[in-house]
Amino acid sequence: MTYQPRAGAAVHVRAPGKLNLALSVGRRRPDGYHPLATVFQALSVYEELTAEPADDLTITVSGAQADLVPTDGTNLAVRAARLLAERVGIPSGVHLHVHKGVPVAGGMAGGSADAAAALIACDALWDTGIPRGELVELAAELGSDVPFALVGHTAVGRGRGDLLTPALTRGEYHWALGLRTAGLSTPEVYATFDEILGGASDEPTVDRALMAALASGDAVAVGRALTNDLQVAALELAPDLAETLSVAQDAGALGVLVSGSGPTVAALGRSRHHALALAAAMTASGATDSVLCASGPVPGARLTTETSDRDRLATGPTRGDRS
């Protein structure tokens, strides 16, 4: 069956960045990948994507560090739109515009959020009717973090991080994020991890203490249970991150760690106000290039109110309402 794009205005989607509250990395497999056991949490730091009908598949980028984002066929959002178009058999004409809010190469999966947003936006724009489960399967073809960017909230990831199980959580968590202008290469961080540690297991597991703390909403216990096997490798490549970690700890963070492959440092506060105080301490110390405050968990990629309300009036419930 051949699908035709739906006529109308642009579609707008918001997708969150993520933190790895725990990241356990196993030994490198023959296929080059590492088995993972991780706990994702989606944060209120967002990528905003707009999709409009067009003759060709193009993308533009604005916002923080926009000049660092590729605008050719290697861009994950472009790849997502092309993959969806191929799956449903339509011409891949669409113009995508991304306004960045998630740090580039910061260990918070901004590119994966763009890919998830593009899948949701093009699905709505082209009215493909693809079930949500198939969108998640497409997301996994694009990258290990893309399925979580679709799902959001808090989830346990296994395999390459793409096999997700929702996590039982209570409460809201408030974070101060210390950012660096210079990112870290994820492949380089993993290569350094292999040189230093090599992984302790072929089947890594998630700490039960963290899962129990999340289920009870005990922020103090969550802070104590934060872990990241890649942190040693990130510190090897960017030793100045140690100062950022130390400043946040000295300022009373409940827990602090490097997010994912880094270099973003995430410090857990007791409250929103305390997270602001942690951010102020990191800024005053000069240990970071910039700071953000965010809370979680939040939903995954979603049509924004502007799009959802318009489409609901015109055509009834949209896929964003069903997701």
Q: What pLDDT sits at residue 305?
A: 62
pLDDT tens digits, one per residue of 1-23: 444 545 457 999 999 999 999 99
Average pLDDT over residues 126-136: 91
Residue 15 CB neighbours (<10 A): 34
Give the separation between CA 38 and CA 205, rounded to whole angstroms.
8
Residue 310 has pLDDT above 70, yes or no: no
Helix (H) or strand (E) holding 53: strand 36-53
Residue 293 has pLDDT above 70, yes or no: yes
Q: Which two tokens stand for residue 133?
A: 């489960």
User: If you search the block for the tokens 């790849």, which residue do you land on?
Assistant: 79
For the chain, the structural domain boundaries read 11-166
pLDDT tens digits, one per residue of 254-287: 999 999 998 999 999 999 999 999 999 999 999 9
Active site positions, annotated: 18, 145
Q: What pLDDT sits at residue 264?
A: 92
Full-model pTM: 0.87
125 contacts 81 by C-beta, under 8 angstroms: no
Pair type for strands 163-166 and 255-258: unpaired
Architecture category of domain 11-166 in CATH: 2-Layer Sandwich (3.30)
- 167 DSSP 8-state letter: P
Q: What pLDDT sits at residue 286?
A: 93
Q: Which residues contact 31 (CB under 8 A, 6 or more apart)?
A: none
307 versus 19: the higher-pLDDT residue is 19
| Mean pLDDT estimate for the chain | 89
The three-state secondary structure class of 1 is coil
Residue 133 has pLDDT above 60, yes or no: yes
Q: What pLDDT sits at residue 277?
A: 97
pLDDT tens digits, one per residue of 168-224: 999 999 999 999 988 888 899 999 999 988 766 778 998 899 999 999 999 999 999
